[in-house]
Structure 1
């Protein structure tokens, strides 16, 4: 079995940076438009924004 490298390749770093920028841009745009967003943090679904569904609605 071959060992998997834990050091990301330069191409992987470029893709990671591009994805982070795209997500940041999308979240900022949603906030400016007054739309809520849904993210995954600490093994939980998190809704952000004034019109976000309440915790009771998510269950």
Structure 2
């Protein structure tokens, strides 16, 4: 039986996690460069970021 905890993935799982993080980072960077908004997760809630984000110009009214 494995002694791994829920907080430490297997080496294969860590490789997969690293690949996913790298892919997401590339997509978020591309969206930023194109001026597109992105939805991320922060403090247990979804956060919409970017100049063209829905509701971004609500304060201007």
TM-score, structure 1 as length reference: 0.79
Match of 1:9 in 2: 10
Tell me how large the CA RMSD over aligned residues is: 2.3
- 5+ residue gaps, structure 2, are none
In the alignment, the residues of structure 1 paired with residue 14 and residue 4 of structure 2 have an alpha-carbon distance, to the nearest angstrom, of 14
Runs of 4+ in 1 over 4 A off after TM superposition: none
Query: What SS does the corresponding residue of 1:52 show, helix, strand or coil?
Result: coil
TM-score, structure 2 as length reference: 0.76
Match of 2:51 in 1: 50
**How many residues get paired?**
55
After superposition, the Cα gap between the structure-2 partners of 1:46 and 1:18, relative to the gap in structure 1 and judged at 3 Å, is same
Match of 2:40 in 1: 39
